[in-house]
Amino acid sequence: MDELVSLTYRSRVRLADPVADIVQIMRASRVRNLRLGITGILLYNGVHFVQTIEGPRSACDELFRLISADPRHQEILAFDLEPITARRFPDWSMRIVSRKELRALAPDLERLDLSGPEDVAELHRTIAASLSKGDADASG
């Protein structure tokens, strides 16, 4: 059985039409990620993406190769690839957090210029806790 991992990276975004491009990215991601057994979260602040993908190591490696070859991503910096025992985002084949939502969840974060894995881990905790609470509030 393939080891379960979490992979986080940051990239500078290069989008011709940001709204249309992000809609297309999300549609393709949800279908592909469901097929590959990948879950995750995509943060977008208008300049950078920070994305965490979780799933089997081989699927995450394949997806990261595709992302690295995608011209919409530049200056890709991988922060973290680590084995995990449980997914942090188990219910999201890919959840996007927009600029507006990101500002509301993490108002001190001007840009996604995170300097290391500790910053990413803290941001994940903040956002996952807020979004999980919001999803529970919305459904109940």
How many other CB atoms are there within 10 angstroms of residue 12's CB atom?
14
Distance CA 126, CA 105 (A): 7
Distance CA 62, CA 136 (A): 32
Whether the Cβ atoms of residue 84 and residue 5 lie closer than 8 Å to each other: yes
Distance, first Cα to last Cα, the chain: 36
Is 70 part of any known ligand binding site? yes
Is 45 part of any known ligand binding site? no
Is 72 part of any known ligand binding site? no
Is 74 part of any known ligand binding site? no
How many other CB atoms are there within 10 angstroms of residue 93's CB atom?
18
Binding residues for FMN: 32-33, 51, 70
Binding residues: 32-33, 51, 70
